[in-house]
Structure 1
Amino acid sequence: MLPVNQTLSNYSDIAFQSAFVIYVVALFVSLFFYGKMQGIIDARRERATRPAEASVAQRVAVGDAGSTLVDDGVPASASDANDEQLSDGELAGREARADKLSGMTQALVWVGILLHATSWVLRGVATERFPLGNLYEYMLGISLGVMIAAAVALQRRSWRSLWPWVLTPMLALMFYGGTELYAESAPVVPALQSNWLPIHVSTVAIGASIGIVSGVASLLYLLRIWQAPGQEKGFFGALAKPLPTAKKLDALAYRAAIVTLPTFGVGILLGAIWAEAAWGRFWGWDPKETVSLITWILYAAYLHARATAGWKNWKAALINIVGLASMIFNLFFINLVVSGLHSYAGLN
């Protein structure tokens, strides 16, 4: 049994905790940005209705003799122009401040990703193996994959209003993983002492990470078509207001799923090859194998429905969301509750 470098293991834990704190700060900054964008959108919409109102006011103020003076002796048309110019300046200032907040969020996320990746790598170096030997390490890897995929997808400023919707579930996953699923650094069980471990599990983790981004985008797509721009009402309307258009959210979900389907599918095939070497059969309808296959079929069904004429995009989005639910069910319930050949996933 190989010794564990406890010093590096401790540094891994510290890096994980530091990444968590940085992500929390990023979440608060992104929420502040989200609130600012709600006010900016209201101001933009109000300004869009102003020309028609100003035109009516000008026709009332301007008679046959020209322009009517207001109380300070300035023509009404000139006063309106000054007010509008001031309003434009204020709006531009608010937009600039909001843009700085979005940039801060993006920068903080990348710092968090760097610490997150450091934690994952140090975990592997400390144990002298690939760091996917238990459920804590898998959670560490899949949350890192989601954050990297999201950071790449949300580079454009117009997409950064999505960060609260990504950071919140990932922080919940990291908190649960770092508390309830945490396992001390140790060598893996004999069943996982194989060169197939980094190949199979990392491929599945990458596919699952991108699939989670796709599922979140579909959830927000349904929220956006329910609360269309300019027609938002109530609490959910306020939540939806800063989101991109439904078309953009649907496109993000679709493009992410295009990557998820083959990546996750290759991961399943690699797992089958490993199963033949380890257990003497390619497929045995183990609970984790079965749910993984169901998840892959759901993503295939989503892409097929999304590309089929006559299908409403929101119906296809529902399939994608069910795929996300299946992925989460497989991650937690199958690994922690159901007994099967993969039950060692929660152990060292």
Structure 2
Amino acid sequence: MGTTDLANLSDKLMLTTVVLYIIAMVAYAADLGFGRRRAATTADAEAEANTEANTEAKTKANAEAKAGAKVLVGAGASAKADDDAPAGAKPDEITAGSDEPARRQMEWGRLAILLNVVGWLAHGGMLTTRGMAADRWPWANMYEFLTAIAFAAVTAYLVVLWRFKARFLGAFVSLAAVVALGVANIWLYSSIGPVVPALNSYWIAIHVSAAIIATGAFTVGGASTLLYLFKARQEAKEAAGGSSALTHLPGADALDRLSLRVTMFAFPIWTAAIIMGAIWADEAWGRYWGWDPKEIWSFVTWIVYAAYLHARATAGWKGRKAAILSLIGFAALMFNFFGVNYLFSGLHSYA
């Protein structure tokens, strides 16, 4: 397969990826809305049916107890055996009735995950074929870099899904991936070509890859932090007697812990990316640090996330204060990517 064919295949896989992510996002949203709501309705119906069954069982038990006083011991034993049995077929009917709604509830989630995984495979194929067509690592310009970050974010979500069963994040991460790929295709697309001399180094496979992985993980952590703030607010309303529109989400504390865990994973990788970038800068430009805008904002991002982790570990910060500090770090990360590349000029302007 020639270079042109690989480039065309990469573009087609990009379109396939976007379509699959959009459908997966809709399926995740349906799972959050309709599936969970149906599960709550089913639980209420089961509770009501169980109450009725218990009432009926108690009534029957009282009647049999009165009759047992007038019959032989053997007959009384038979009555006791009947009393120990479930009242009629009610419990079996409840179990059978609850399995079907639960199965239907899972359909949206399973469909979303399936589409997400297939889209992720197409996304990886898009990056692979573009790299093969260009005969280099496929993150040498803004289009490729943003596409790779979206891939890293989806990968991080799938890992969190497998590790923590956090399916509720799917709609939000899919939305972020769709927006990123849309921006990349509409405004940042560039044809396949050679890299500038400064990027023609093996360090692009180390330094840039680390930055991409960390950014993808920080994106998942940022989504968890935003959901924590919304959930904490809703829980406060519930405590005051109000109603909540986010009952499908886990508790605020669980979201807070998830955000912390993802950030703890991403921070060392971001640290390594900065260190490796300094080594690469020395090889390319003859100095480790030159206060280039990209270097400054990478360090600012590092400082904010370091303060977040330090505050949680030593000062016991958690909840809203820690969440705001985490979002400041994520905002600095986004500015480092978009703002620095378009508002400032420097040695990283080729990005």
Place the TM-score, normalised by the shorter chain, in its bin. Answer: 0.7 to 0.9
> Which residue number in structure 1 is paired with residue 310 of structure 2?
304
Match of 2:213 in 1: 206
CA–CA distance in 2 between the matches of 1:300 and 1:259? 12
Aligned to 2:76: none
Partner of 1:73: none
1:260 aligns with 2:258: no
User: Match of 1:337?
Assistant: 343
Aligned to 1:285: 291
TM-score by length of 1: 0.84
Aligned to 1:39: 37
**Matches of 1:107 and 1:229 in 2, distance apart?**
35
**Counterparts of 1:7 and 1:86 in 2: how far apart (Å)?**
59
**Cα separation, 1, equivalents of 2:17 and 2:4:** 20
Does 2:198 match 1:191? Answer: yes
- 1:29: how far off? 1.4
Aligned to 1:15: 13
Say whether the 8 Å CA contact 1:292–1:327 is kept in structure 2. yes
Deviation track 1:174-201 (CA, whole Å, cap 9, x = no partner) reads: 1111110111000011221122111111
Instruction: Work out whether 1:101 is the aligned partner of 2:108.
Output: yes
What is the CA-CA distance between 1:92 and the residue it aligns to? 3.3
Secondary structure of the 2:143 match is: helix
Does residue 314 (structure 1) correspond to residue 312 (structure 2)? The answer is: no
- Once the two structures are superposed, residues 54-86 of structure 1 have per-residue CA deviations (whole angstroms, 9 ceiling, x without a partner) of 69988xx99x989xxxxxxxxxxxxx9978876
Counterpart amino acid of residue 102 in structure 1: G
Amino acid in structure 2 at the alignment position of 1:94: P
Q: 1:141 Cα deviation (Å)?
A: 0.9
- Partner letter of residue 223 of structure 1? F
Within 2, Cα distance between the matches of 1:200 and 1:158? 31
> What are structure 1's unaligned runs of at least 5 residues?
67-79
Aligned residues between the structures: 330
Percent of matched pairs sharing the same residue: 35
Counterparts of 1:226 and 1:90 in 2: how far apart (Å)? 35
| Partner residue of 1:217 out of 199, 205, 224 | 224
> What is the deviation of 1:314?
2.1
Distance 1:312 1:30 in 2: 29
The SS at the match of 1:228 is helix
Which secondary structure state, in structure 1, belongs to the residue aligned with residue 162 of structure 2?
A: coil
Taking a change above 3 Å as real, the CA distance of residues 262 and 275 of structure 1, as seen in their structure-2 partners, is same
- Indicate if the aligned counterparts of 2:157 and 2:169 stay in contact, CA closer than 8 A: no
CA contact (8 A) 2:35 2:104 kept: no
Q: 2:253 aligns with which of 222, 225, 247?
A: 247
CA distance in 2, matches of 1:129, 1:217: 34
**What does residue 24 of structure 2 align with?**
26
The answer to whether the 8 Å contact 1:140/1:174 transfers is yes
Matching residue of 1:75: none
Q: In structure 2, what residue type is equivalent to 1:159?
A: A
Please report how far the alpha carbon of residue 308 of structure 1 lies from its aligned counterpart in structure 2 after TM superposition.
Answer: 3.0
Q: Of 297, 301, 315, which aligns to 1:295?
A: 301
**Alpha-carbon spacing, 1:263–1:30, altered in 2? closer, same or farther (3 Å):** same
Contact in 2 for aligned 1:232/1:241 (Cα 8 Å) = no
Does 1:165 find its partner at 2:176? no
Change (3 A) 1:147 1:312: closer
* 1:326 maps to which of 315, 327, 332: 332
How far apart, CA to CA, are the structure 1 residues paired with 2:344 and 2:244? 40
| Cα gap change, 1:309 to 1:210, in 2 (>3 Å) | same
Aligned amino acid, residue 188 of structure 2: L
Cα distance in 2 for residues equivalent to 1:103 and 1:229: 32
CA distance in structure 1 between the aligned counterparts of 2:236 and 2:47, rounded to whole angstroms:
15
Letter in 1 for 2:300: I
Does structure 2 retain, via aligned residues, the 8 Å contact 1:229–1:245?
no
Paired AA for residue 340 in structure 2 = I
Q: In angstroms, what is the RMSD of aligned CA positions?
A: 3.3
Q: 1:57-96 counterparts in 2 under 5 A? A: 89-96=96-103
- Compared CA separation, residues 227 and 16, structure 1 to 2 (3 A): same
Matched residues in 1 for 2:271 and 2:111: separation? Answer: 36
Paired residue secondary structure (1:182):
coil
Q: In the TM superposition, what whole-angstrom CA distance separates every residue of 1:279-317 from its partner, at most 9, and x where no partner exists?
A: 121111111111111111111111112223442422111
